[in-house]
Structure 1
Amino acid sequence: MVERPGRLDGRSTIVSGGADGCGAAAARLFAGEGARVAIVDRQVSKGEALAAEIRAGGGEAIFAEADVSKRDAVEAAVAAATSAFGPPTALFNHAGSIVVKPFLETTDEEYDWLMDVNVRSMFLMTRAVLPGMIEAGGGSIVCTSSISAVAATPAEVLYDTTKGAVHMFARAIGVEFRDRNVRCNAVCPGFIATAHGNREVELLSGFGVDASEAAIRAAQGRMCRPEEVASAALFLLSDEASFVNGAHLFVDNAFTAI
């Protein structure tokens, strides 16, 4: 029997925010599907350990340290990925964070910081990758949005706003670059069982928002697993989604359908 090639076989791939959580799950999954993975993150020890783990398992991976809200750091990381594996033709814009706080208590500094981490990072990463991707004949980009782009939550006005921007960013990139064989889509998870997701639940509960196990079970059945987000991103990056462009794929077990 002929072995099926991986869905990202041989593709130079970048995962931002790839050292932990859903990003790490994606890096492992993509490498298992034949991708040559550049993990971009600020968490050096975790990123280097993950790249070593992938290599030890027979995959190809490097780690590039970068604060993806900084242009010079992003351009250096993309240059390292290109030097190692060629121009990236798959990009998972996953890096992001959260601010949970009543709106009237939020600060200008928190607004600037979260917009930089969640939105500016995708702008910088995508802009740095696109020229090489286009020259290579095209590729695919996936941005991590959220149910929070369309389902507002108390104490998450800043976070909801950033994810709304990510939602439209993915769609607009898809429209502008489809004639150059570049697709861009967003994956939109519900509450996820990661350190980030657990922290969000804890903070919401502290501000009196019902984020209890029972409330999450009623909204989406259970917490989403990181691997489920990674699998959705893999589909959107792969040729299986060759005519999917400018779309928002919700990974929320009908949270936003109720």
Structure 2
Amino acid sequence: MNARLDGRLAGKVAIISGGAGGCGAAASTLFARQGARVAIIDRDGDAAETLASILRDEGLSAAGFGADVARKQDVARAVAAARETFGPADVLFNHAGTLIVKPFLDIEEDEWDWLMAVNVKSMYLMTQAVLPQMLEKAAGTIICTSSISAVCATPGEVLYDTTKGACHMFARAIAIEYRERGIRCNAIAPGFIRTPHGIREIDQLRAMGVDVSENSIAQQQGRLCEPSEVAAAALFLASDESSFVNGAHLFVDNGFSAL
């Protein structure tokens, strides 16, 4: 599925964390093709710049920056570089994240702290770094990647589910606190996705004996979600078409969360 290319983000500066792979790369590509100047921030700086170079070869505007977005100094450096390159941000897509699949009683304290940092602290750091740029213009939109796991619990994913529940409320609370200052913030919540991250999750759940067979996924959401479908939903939230959508949780799961 491809979103129509009509320049919906023309003139806008978009920063995407975790923007070099999977759904993040799909969003970086789509946002650039829709006219945005895209700052791709990723822990793999080489992958970020490689994708940016491919987009520039298409005549689009993109730059890659390496950063661990769970580290304040990395975030500050990357966000400053993005502003120097493209100017103040109009769109922030907090997409960076990963998962741990493990029985709850086997989770180590350092694993808990690490996943909380990658999935939750990164949103705090990125938003705190970028939001002042938006407040200068009294306009901006923030998108946070959550998951069906914020509302649909799965064995072996207590830690992951908890981080995504935090993503849900983070987006809602930012929306309420900054609504009167021209800022929108929403969460996007995909189901099982056809990405390396998504396939790894399925494989690890199956290894634990959780039923995520092809038949089970077909019953829950029909089929695997494609990265382009997540990117298209993020585009809607990033664009002026969603001007009155704020504090929302947009599920991209073909009804999984409605069961």
> In structure 2, what is the Cα distance between the partners aligned to 1:161 and 1:196?
18
1:46 shift after superposition: 1.7
User: 1:85 — aligned with what?
Assistant: 86
**Given residue 109 of structure 1, which amino acid in structure 2 is its aligned partner?**
D
- Provide Cα deviations, 1:13-59, integer angstroms capped at 9, x if missing partner: 10100000000000000001100000000112321110001100011
CA shift, 1:239, in A, is: 0.3
1:175-190 correspondence runs (5 A): 175-190=176-191
2:127 matched to which residue of 1?
126
Q: Any residues of structure 2 matched to 1:93-172 within 5 Å, and which? A: 93-172=94-173
Percent identity at matched positions? 62
Secondary structure class of the residue paired with 1:135: helix
Partner Cα distance (1:178, 1:57) in 2? 36
Distance 1:34 1:134 in 2: 22
Gap runs ≥5 in structure 1: none
2:212 is equivalent to residue 211 of structure 1 = yes
Structure 2 letter corresponding to 1:178: R
TM, length-normalised to structure 1: 0.98
Checking the alignment, whether the CA contact within 8 Å between 2:221 and 2:256 is kept in structure 1 is: yes
Question: What do you get for the CA RMSD once the two structures are aligned?
Answer: 0.8
Rounded Cα–Cα distance in structure 2 between residues aligned with 1:229 and 1:149: 16
Map 1:1-258; keep pairs closer than 5 Å: 6-258=7-259
Distance in 1, matches of 2:111 and 2:58, equals: 40
Amino acid aligned to 2:40: I
Q: 1:162-199: CA deviations, max 9, x gaps? A: 00000000000000001110000000000000000000
Deviation at 1:5, TM superposition (A): 5.4
Question: Equivalent residue of 1:115, what SS?
Answer: helix
d(CA) in 1 for partners of 2:78, 2:157: 31
CA distance in structure 1 between the partners assigned to 2:152 and 2:88 by the alignment: 36
Aligned equivalents of 2:126 and 2:176: distance in 1?
18
TM-score (norm 2): 0.97
| SS in structure 2 of the partner of residue 26 of structure 1 | helix
Structure 2: gaps of 5 or more residues: none
After TM superposition, the runs of 4+ consecutive aligned structure 1 residues lying more than 2 A away are none
Distance 1:83 1:132 in 2: 12
What secondary structure is seen at the aligned counterpart in 2 of 1:77? helix
**Equivalent AA in structure 1 for residue 171 of structure 2:** A
Instruction: Work out the number of aligned pairs and report it.
Output: 255
Q: Is the 8 A contact 2:75 2:125 kept in 1?
A: yes
C-alpha distance in 1 between matches for 2:216 and 2:172? 31
SS at match of 1:119: helix
Taking the aligned partners of 1:166 and 1:103, their CA distance within structure 2 comes to 20
Letter in 1 for 2:165: G
